[in-house]
Amino acid sequence: ELTQPPSVSVSPGQTARIPCSGDVLPKRYVYWYQQKSGQAPVLVIYEDSKQPSGIPERFSGSTSGTVATLTISRAQVEDEADYYCYSADSNGNHWVFGGGTKLTVL
Amino acid sequence: EVQLVESGGGLVQPGGSLRLSCAASGFTFPRHWMTWVRQAPGKGLEWVANIKEDESEKYYADSVRGRFTISRDNAKNSLYLQMSSLRAEDTAVYYCARGTLFWDSRSGKWYRGGGGVDLWGQGTLVSVSS
């Protein structure tokens, strides 16, 4: 199970941090997805901290023990979306999403 | 263009069946694990099932095991989800997604990496209602 806060709110230009906690995280990679209203999810961070091409550098990821964190530096209004963490179970065969965090930038 | 396009969604009665398809293009489909993910109206994402490149491994969420079957046809670059004994709680947008794949220049081999997904289709809506 992965746990995320339902919502996070920041002002434009501030840093947004979205945590994801789970006992499996010290053993498994975490992935982060951004989903804007009415659209399919988009990968923003893979394998804990790596950036896919085309994703702004203000998106970064980190892990510490059982908590992974997605950090959005200098948040912009266009970053408003739902964000989901994603990881596998201890065997790596079954996967689970966090409940999602709604980021508000205003 | 690299893309995934789902089809086959629609309205079905409880207890009925439906087969979803996902057409892949712009990349080497047979090299990738593939995954189905769903999202109920107003809810979060839920992993449904995934399948290895050669179909030798398939895994399912507890909520669908025994009712849904994932399969693929690498010759047709297509992924499928056969759904039976459908329930109202299966109502959702169903997405297909591509597993990550990386090139290791030292070994000269492709490898899966951590196993997440990096490309999503636009989804197809399945509604289960009488």
Q: Do B114 and A97 touch (CB under 8 A)?
A: no
Identify the closest residue of chain B to A39 by CA–CA distance.
B122
**Is the pLDDT score of B110 beyond 90?**
no
Neighbours of A10 (CB within 10 A): 16
Identify the closest residue of chain A to B46 by CA–CA distance.
A97
Of A40, A95, A98, the CB nearest to B123: A40
**Candidates B120, B122, B124, B125, partner chain A, best to mutate (most A CBs within 10 A):** B120
DSSP secondary structure code for residue B100 in this structure: P
Query: Distance from CA of residue A35 to its chain's centroid?
Result: 10
Distance from the Cα of A20 to chain B's closest Cα (Å) equals 14
Residue B112's pLDDT is what?
A: 86
Q: What is the mean pLDDT of chain B?
A: 96
Q: Please list, in sequence order, all residues whose beta carbon lies within 8 angstroms of the beta carbon of residue B9, skipping any fewer than 6 positions away.
A: B18, B20, B93, B94, B124, B125, B126, B127
Check residue B42 and give left, alpha or beta (phi > 0: left; psi -120 to 50: alpha).
left
DSSP secondary structure code for residue B15 in this structure: T
Q: Give the model confidence (pLDDT) of A21-74 as tens digits.
A: 999 999 999 999 999 999 999 999 999 999 999 999 999 999 999 999 999 999
Residue B103's pLDDT is what?
A: 84
Structure tokens that stand for A48 in this block: 């804990």
Of B59, B115, B121, the CB nearest to A40: B121
- Band of pLDDT at residue B111, cut at 50, 70 and 90: confident
User: What's the mean pLDDT in A62-89?
Assistant: 97
Of A82, A93, A97, the CB nearest to B46: A97
Q: Which residues of B touch A (CB under 8 A)?
A: 35, 37, 44-47, 50, 57, 59, 61, 95, 100, 113-123
Which range has the worst mean pLDDT, A89-98, B18-27, B36-45?
Answer: A89-98
Helix (H), strand (E), coil (C) string for chain A: CCECCCEEEECCCCCEEEEEECCCCCCCCCEEEEECCCCCCEEEEECCCECCCCCCCCEEEEEECCEEEEEECCCCHHHCEEEEEEEECCCCCCEEECCCEEEEEC
Neighbours of B66 (CB within 10 A): 9
Cβ proximity of A81 and A103 under 8 Å: yes
Write out the H or E segment, with its range, that includes residue B103.
strand B102-104
- Band of pLDDT at residue A90, cut at 50, 70 and 90: confident
Residue A25's pLDDT is what?
A: 95
Nearest to B44 by CA among A91, A75, A83: A83
